[in-house]
Amino acid sequence: MNFDTLIQQFYNRYGRNSTPIRLFFAPGRVNLIGEHTDYNGGYVFPCALSFGTYLMMRENHQQVLRLATTNFEFTSEISLGEPIRKINEAWVNYPLGVIKELQSRGLIITGYDLLYSGNIPNNAGLSSSASIELVTAVAFDKLFDLDIGRVELVKIGQAAENNFVGVNCGIMDQFAVGMGQKDHALFLNCNTLDYEAVPVNLVDYQLVIANTNKSRGLADSKYNERVTECNKAVRAISKGKPIQYLAELNNHEFSEYAHLIPDQTILKRARHVVSENQRVFEAVDALKSGRLTTFGQLMNASHDSLRDDYEVTGIELDTLVEESRKIEGVIGSRMTGAGFGGCTVSLVKNEAVREMMARAGEAYHLKTGLKADFYPADIGDGAKEITNL
């Protein structure tokens, strides 16, 4: 990110004065394994990325919040004398939801000019929404000397998306964005928020993210649908074994009580959650012990379960995964994120990265008509203020 260019864009939009500008950053995230387990009380294994969302802020000494971004044309000016309301489907709902949550906790906000600039691919499933939420939460925490704990800021980001935006997401995205550590992935219990930062030592391998560039228009509605389906499975199983979340069950217990779920679609959804939760444990153990081939096999099994049992992949994700797996040196490939478009993440031998991106990309284009974008991924830190402007 060229900060000089961003500062000039800020001045072009809001003008120059002597009031200092502050700069904040929050990363995107990729989940290595453990998909759709977070809102089911399970484990996940995400990491923060080195790219994300930047936010420049300056007090404007007026009772208005002015929000703009270099990524979209839509801007908004919010009077602080009125209740904050949702604005159709605009991107500003993510920061506005955070601000409303802070107000509900007693924060009296004064007027600020805000300019966001993100280098997370739009609609890629790399948590651009959580990145916007956390960069906003961290910025207001710092600017108003709130000293809110970082986990509480993560919860505020999730609450903004649940209560204001209207997506029933779990806490994984906000947690990874807020708590990420460079060169580590987070082994997170989404029920208790206990976590362990696990070093990611890939030796001769590289994580490669591939963006299908398929619009994720179904993602939010289908996400909420899957949440409802999992809740139905919990109610069915609770007739024989009282549980609050599907992830409380291991594979053996699920087999014992699966007959209580009469609907075959609901049964498949539950089977994915329980088996995926177990795969997270196995994958973390494999990474810690240097068994990268096993880690890759678990990534493959995760995608196959998301395709067959959870049904959140689609032809674009499936094609990109299938074509990537054909390349010698690719030992694991899976969708990451909510699904229905977005991205895959693959574990690739260093010397095979260029070939994988070229050949899988060409085959994907021939089969879908879309062009995939590839990003060899570096693991970065969580949300923070940048002081070296």
Supply the residues annotated as catalytic.
173
Per-residue HEC secondary structure of 268-331 comes to HHHHHHHHHHHHHHHHHHHHHCCCHHHHHHHHHHHHHHHHHCCCCCCHHHHHHHHHHHCCCCEE
What is the side-by-side order of every strand in the sheet holding 22-31? 76-79, 64-69, 112-118, 46-59, 22-31, 384-386
What is the Cα–Cα distance from 257 to 197, expressed in whole angstroms? Answer: 34
Query: Cα 58 vs. chain centroid, distance in angstroms?
Result: 28
- Neighbouring CB atoms inside 10 A of 55's CB total 28
What is the Cα–Cα distance from 303 to 69, expressed in whole angstroms? Answer: 34
Contact of 260 with 54, CB cutoff 8 Å: no
What is the Cα–Cα distance from 280 to 252, expressed in whole angstroms? Answer: 16
What is the Cα–Cα distance from 377 to 353, expressed in whole angstroms? Answer: 11
What is the Cα–Cα distance from 23 to 5, expressed in whole angstroms? Answer: 13
Nearest partner of 53 among 90, 79, 91, judged by Cα: 91
